[in-house]
Structure 1
Amino acid sequence: MAQFVDSIEAAVDRVLDTVKGDVVLGIPLAIGKPNPFVNALYRRMKGNPARRLRIVTALSLEKPVGKSELEEHFLGPLVERVFEDYPDLLYVKDLRAGTLPAHIEVREFFMKTGDYLGNPAAQQNYISTNYTFVARDMAVQGMNVIAQAVGAKGEGEGMRLSLSSNPDVVFEVVEKLRAAGQPLLTVGVVNRKMPFMPNGAEVAPEFFDLVVTDPAGTHAVFCPPNNKVSAADYAIGLHASALVADGGTLQIGIGSLGDAIAQALIVRDRHGDEYRRILESISPDGIEGRELGRFDLGLYGCSEMFVNGFLKLIEAGIIRREVFGDVTLQRALNEGEIDETVTPRTLALLLRHGRIHSPLSADDVAYLKHWGVLREGVQLDGDKLVLDGTKLPNDLISEANLARIGETMLGSRLSHGIFMTGGFFLGPRDFYERLRTMPPQELAKIDMTRIDFINQLYSDNDGQAAVKRAQRRKARFMNTTMIVTLLGAACSDALESGQVVSGVGGQYNFVAMAHALPDARLLMMLRATHDNKDGLKSSIVWSYGHVTIPRHLRDIVVTEYGAADLRGQSDSEVVKRLIAVADSRFQEELIRQAKAHGKLESNYELPERYRHNLPEALEEKLHPWAQAGLLPDFPFGTDLTEDELHIVRALKRLKHATQHPGELLTMAIKSLWESKDAPLPYLERLGLAETHSFKDAFVKRLLANNL
Structure 2
Amino acid sequence: MKHNRPAVFQDPEACTDYILSRVGKNIVLGLALGLGKPNHLANAIFNRARRDPSIRLKIITAITPEVPGWSSDLERRFLEPILERVFGGYPPLEYALAVRRRDVPENIQVCEFFFRPGAFMNYEHAQLNYISTNYTHAVRDLMDNGINVAAQLVSAERQADGRDRYSYSCNPEVALDLVPAMRQAEREGRPVAIVAQVNRNLPYMYGDSEVEPQEFDAVLDHPDCEFPLFAPPKESVSTQDYMIGLNVGSLIRDGGTLQIGIGSLGDAITYGLIVRHEHNDLYREILQRTGILERFGQSVEKHGGTDPFREGLYGCTEMFVDGYVHLMKHGIIKRKVYDHPAIQRLVNDGRLQEEITGAVLDQLVAAGAISRKLTANDVALLSRFGILDPQWRWDEGELTNGVLRIPADLDDPKARQALEAHALGQRLQNGVAVHGGFFIGPRSFYEALHQMPPEERRLINMKAVSYMNHLYGDEELKVLQRRHARFVNTGLMVTLSGAIVSDGLEDGRVISGVGGQYNFVSQAHALPGGRCIIMIRSTRGSGAHATSNVLFNYGNTTIPRHLRDIVVTEYGIADIRGKTDQEVAAALIQIADSRFQDELVRQAKAAHKLPADYRVPDAFRHNVPERLEAELGSFRQKGLFGPFPFGTDLTDQELILAKALRHLKDATNGNKGKLFQVKPLLASLAPPAAARPYLERLGLDAPRDIREKIMQRLVTHALAATGAI
Does the CA-based 8 Å contact 1:229-1:256 persist in structure 2?
yes
Task: Find the partner of 2:495 among 485, 503, 515.
Answer: 485
Structure 1 stretch displaced more, 471-480 or 166-175: 166-175
**Does the C-alpha gap of structure 1 residues 509 and 374 become closer, same or farther in structure 2, counting only changes over 3 Å?**
same
Does the CA-based 8 Å contact 1:279-1:287 persist in structure 2?
no
Query: Could you tell me how far 1:53 is from its partner in structure 2?
Result: 1.3
Does the CA-based 8 Å contact 2:355-2:427 persist in structure 1?
yes
Task: Find the partner of 2:259 among 240, 251, 266.
Answer: 251
Ranges in structure 1 where 5+ consecutive residues have no aligned partner: none
Task: Find the partner of 1:169 among 174, 178, 181.
Answer: 174
* Equivalent AA in structure 1 for residue 599 of structure 2: E
Task: Find the partner of 2:14 among 10, 18, 27.
Answer: 10
The answer for the alignment partner of 1:706 in structure 2 is: 718
Task: Find the partner of 1:111 among 110, 115, 123.
Answer: 115
**Does the C-alpha gap of structure 1 residues 474 and 667 become closer, same or farther in structure 2, counting only changes over 3 Å?**
farther
Partner secondary structure for residue 367 of structure 1: helix
Counterpart-to-counterpart distance in 1, 2:675 and 2:74: 20
Partner secondary structure for residue 345 of structure 2: helix
Deviations, residues 330-367 of structure 1 (Å, cap 9, x unaligned)? 01111112222211111111011111001101111111
The answer for the alignment partner of 1:222 in structure 2 is: 230
Counterpart-to-counterpart distance in 2, 1:687 and 1:383: 81
Query: Could you tell me how far 1:381 is from its partner in structure 2?
Result: 3.9
Counterpart-to-counterpart distance in 2, 1:174 and 1:384: 40
Q: Does 1:194 align with 2:207?
A: no
Counterpart-to-counterpart distance in 1, 2:99 and 2:37: 17
The answer for the alignment partner of 1:367 in structure 2 is: 381
Counterpart-to-counterpart distance in 2, 1:486 and 1:662: 37
Counterpart-to-counterpart distance in 2, 1:662 and 1:164: 45
Structure 1 stretch displaced more, 98-107 or 286-295: 286-295
* Equivalent AA in structure 1 for residue 667 of structure 2: A
Partner secondary structure for residue 221 of structure 1: coil
Output aligned runs, 1:233-252, within 5 Å: 233-252=241-260
Does the CA-based 8 Å contact 1:485-1:541 persist in structure 2?
yes
Query: Could you tell me how far 1:441 is from its partner in structure 2?
Result: 0.6
Query: Could you tell me how far 1:386 is from its partner in structure 2?
Result: 2.9
Q: Tell me the TM-score normalized by structure 1.
A: 0.96
Q: Does 1:659 align with 2:669?
A: yes
Counterpart-to-counterpart distance in 2, 1:388 and 1:247: 41
* Equivalent AA in structure 1 for residue 226 of structure 2: T
Query: Could you tell me how far 1:229 is from its partner in structure 2?
Result: 0.5
Counterpart-to-counterpart distance in 2, 1:485 and 1:528: 11
The answer for the alignment partner of 2:345 in structure 1 is: 331
Q: Does 1:86 align with 2:90?
A: yes
Output aligned runs, 1:412-423, within 5 Å: 412-423=426-437
**Does the C-alpha gap of structure 1 residues 97 and 201 become closer, same or farther in structure 2, counting only changes over 3 Å?**
same
Counterpart-to-counterpart distance in 2, 1:381 and 1:424: 41
Q: How many residues align?
A: 703
Task: Find the partner of 1:34 among 16, 31, 38.
Answer: 38
Does the CA-based 8 Å contact 2:176-2:463 persist in structure 1?
no
Output aligned runs, 1:343-492, within 5 Å: 343-387=357-401, 389-397=403-411, 401-458=415-472, 463-492=473-502
The answer for the alignment partner of 2:639 in structure 1 is: 629
The answer for the alignment partner of 2:722 in structure 1 is: none
Query: Could you tell me how far 1:157 is from its partner in structure 2?
Result: 6.0
Q: Tell me the TM-score normalized by structure 2.
A: 0.94
Query: Could you tell me how far 1:599 is from its partner in structure 2?
Result: 0.4
The answer for the alignment partner of 2:616 in structure 1 is: 606
Over the aligned positions, Cα root-mean-square deviation in angstroms equals 2.1
Does the CA-based 8 Å contact 1:667-1:702 persist in structure 2?
no
Partner secondary structure for residue 148 of structure 1: strand
Q: Does 1:124 align with 2:132?
A: no
Partner secondary structure for residue 319 of structure 2: strand
Query: Could you tell me how far 1:383 is from its partner in structure 2?
Result: 4.1
Q: Does 1:514 align with 2:524?
A: yes
**Does the C-alpha gap of structure 1 residues 296 and 672 become closer, same or farther in structure 2, counting only changes over 3 Å?**
farther
Partner secondary structure for residue 287 of structure 1: helix
Task: Find the partner of 2:564 among 554, 558, 562.
Answer: 554
* Equivalent AA in structure 1 for residue 459 of structure 2: K
Query: Could you tell me how far 1:101 is from its partner in structure 2?
Result: 1.4
Partner secondary structure for residue 322 of structure 1: coil
**Does the C-alpha gap of structure 1 residues 620 and 346 become closer, same or farther in structure 2, counting only changes over 3 Å?**
same
* Equivalent AA in structure 2 for residue 226 of structure 1: K
The answer for the alignment partner of 1:148 in structure 2 is: 152
Q: Does 1:645 align with 2:655?
A: yes
Partner secondary structure for residue 546 of structure 2: strand
Structure 1 stretch displaced more, 137-146 or 185-194: 137-146
Task: Find the partner of 1:65 among 64, 69, 86.
Answer: 69
Deviations, residues 632-688 of structure 1 (Å, cap 9, x unaligned)? 211110010000101111111122223277997999598689765363332233232
Q: Percent of aligned pairs with the same residue?
A: 45
Counterpart-to-counterpart distance in 1, 2:611 and 2:371: 65
Does the CA-based 8 Å contact 2:33-2:61 persist in structure 1?
yes
Does the CA-based 8 Å contact 1:8-1:214 persist in structure 2?
no
Counterpart-to-counterpart distance in 2, 1:581 and 1:341: 47
Query: Could you tell me how far 1:287 is from its partner in structure 2?
Result: 3.0
Ranges in structure 2 where 5+ consecutive residues have no aligned partner: 720-725
Query: Could you tell me how far 1:72 is from its partner in structure 2?
Result: 1.3
Deviations, residues 465-509 of structure 1 (Å, cap 9, x unaligned)? 211111111110000000100010001000010100000000000
Task: Find the partner of 1:263 among 254, 265, 271.
Answer: 271
The answer for the alignment partner of 1:691 in structure 2 is: 703
* Equivalent AA in structure 2 for residue 351 of structure 1: V
Query: Could you tell me how far 1:204 is from its partner in structure 2?
Result: 0.5
The answer for the alignment partner of 1:319 in structure 2 is: 333
Does the CA-based 8 Å contact 2:166-2:210 persist in structure 1?
yes
